[in-house]
A = this chain, B = another copy of it.
Amino acid sequence: MEQVKVSVITIGDELLIGQVIDTNSAWIAQELNKIGVWVHRRLAVGDERNEIWKALDDESMVSSVILITGGLGPTADDITKPLLCEYFGGKMVMDDATLKHITYLFTQVFKRPLPLLESNRRQAMVPDVATILKNEVGTAPNMLFEKDGKIFISMPGVPHEMKFAVEKYVVPLLQQRFRLPYIGHRNLLTVGIGESFLAHRIKDFESALPSNIKLAYLPNYGMVRLRLTAQGDNETTETVLDKTFKTLKELVSDVLAIDEDVPFEILLGRLLKQSNKTVSTAESCTGGYIAHLITSVAGSSDYFKGSVVSYSNSIKEDVLQVSNETLATAGAVSEETVREMVSGVLKVMKTDYAVAVSGIMGPGGGSEDKPVGTVWMAAGNAEKIETKKMHFRFERVRNIELTAAHALHWLCMFIKNNS
């Protein structure tokens, strides 16, 4: 089966000086992957005429579909649209439908007085060689060009506008124009084993894999994700993939945390909804990040009641009822303290389960006894509290993220084992 090759070109100086992190291309890759399309190359260039021109030349040499994001704003630093017009040999004309849509947005949605600014009107100027794909969620129109059998689609760089265009236009177009292969992924996450030891354990499995199934190691947060990817042209591929995945799961069963690609905050939500229970958090070193992860999930208000971020010891005492003696003798970063934090927040928040963390995230605050990266965590309910000590070796924000991920894992395991 012919494989459709897709390139993504991202335009904007802000990407090349590092002021903005490119999350668009990851999202695009993920969406296309779901329908069996691989993004083969991703290229980022600045707001520079020659660089953009060369990018169009280069990518059209290797790919059949070139997706372009960014460079379409109303301001003068955006040069992409006139350049595309020239590249495809057209001239700029006013598009009445786009102008009508922009006028509608400014007057009805943004509630601005008329007349439009010249720069707003200019957004409705389009190359006459482009097919306009209406941007229902923003002012810059999407544009489709075709040249020498290649398809080019230019979209805004604003993430929700780009997402709209990919879902509404790009995905259906690819499905219609190409016969797409089946691509399947199976993911699992291991906790408590290093990448090379894991690889050693499953090396016979790996070398026996059929040629259309690939295994990837994705270490993250001090855990290792394994991903099997199969590609083929019929549903037997999926059957083989499932069988292979089952074998892999058996090989790592003792270190297996989740057998799918979902974050712990989603898993937590499922576990709590199943049993109709509630949870709260008591956070010292993570400063609310665990609560943030939990509440980033839609519908979390069904099971998450709240959190006490007790950054200072006085809050641990006053709000969470951690005893002064514990803080004085064992210290804020100790098994005793996280135990009392769990008990305290269970009472304050009246929830079924709670998790607590206390640690030293750095760069300051470490001691010989408790170096930077030392973390105590506890998960529990009214009957039982289980604690764990960990040690992370990264910089502050990374240590916070690692602590939160492991605390959520600890909490999920506790709920699984005690419900």
* A positions within 8 Å CB-CB of B: 13-23, 25-31, 33, 38-47, 51, 54-55, 58, 62, 73-77, 110, 112, 117-120, 158-160, 185, 194-197, 199-200, 203, 206-207, 214-220, 227, 229, 261, 281, 283, 286-292, 294-296, 298-301, 304-312, 314-315, 318-319, 348-350, 362-365, 394-398, 400
Contact = CB atoms under 8 A, between A and B. Distances in A.
A353 to B, nearest CB: 15
Contact of A298 (B25, B219, B362): B362
Specify how many copies of this chain sit in the oligomer.
Answer: 2
Contact of A45 (B41, B75, B77): B41
B160 A395 contact: yes
A314 B199 CA distance: 49
Contact of A292 (B25, B197, B289, B364): B289
Nearest to A227: B19
Contact of A74 (B196, B220, B283, B294): B196
A311 B305 contact: yes
A43 B46 contact: no
B44 A25 contact: yes
B18 A160 contact: no
B44 A14 contact: no
A312 B294 CA distance: 14
B19 A42 contact: no
Given A16-B42, A39-B16, A397-B296, A309 B312 contact: no
B75 A217 contact: yes
Nearest to A19: B218
- Report the 8 A-B pairs with minimum CB-CB distance, sorted nearest first: A287-B295, A288-B288, A18-B30, A288-B291, A18-B29, A307-B309, A42-B44, A306-B315
Majority SS of interface residues in chain A?
mixed
A76 B206 contact: yes
Given A17-B33, A42-B45, A306-B308, 17 more contacts: A21-B21, A21-B26, A38-B46, A40-B45, A41-B55, A43-B43, A43-B44, A54-B62, A77-B216, A112-B194, A281-B288, A287-B295, A288-B289, A288-B291, A299-B364, A301-B311, A307-B307
A76 B203 CA distance: 9
A315 B349 contact: yes
B311 A304 contact: yes
B15 A42 contact: yes
Nearest to A220: B20
Given A38-B16, A400-B296, A120 B287 contact: no
9 contacts: A16-B42, A17-B229, A38-B46, A287-B295, A288-B309, A292-B292, A298-B364, A304-B312, A306-B311
Nearest to A296: B397
Nearest to A187: B19
Contacts of A199: 74-76, 117, 119
Contacts of A28: 18
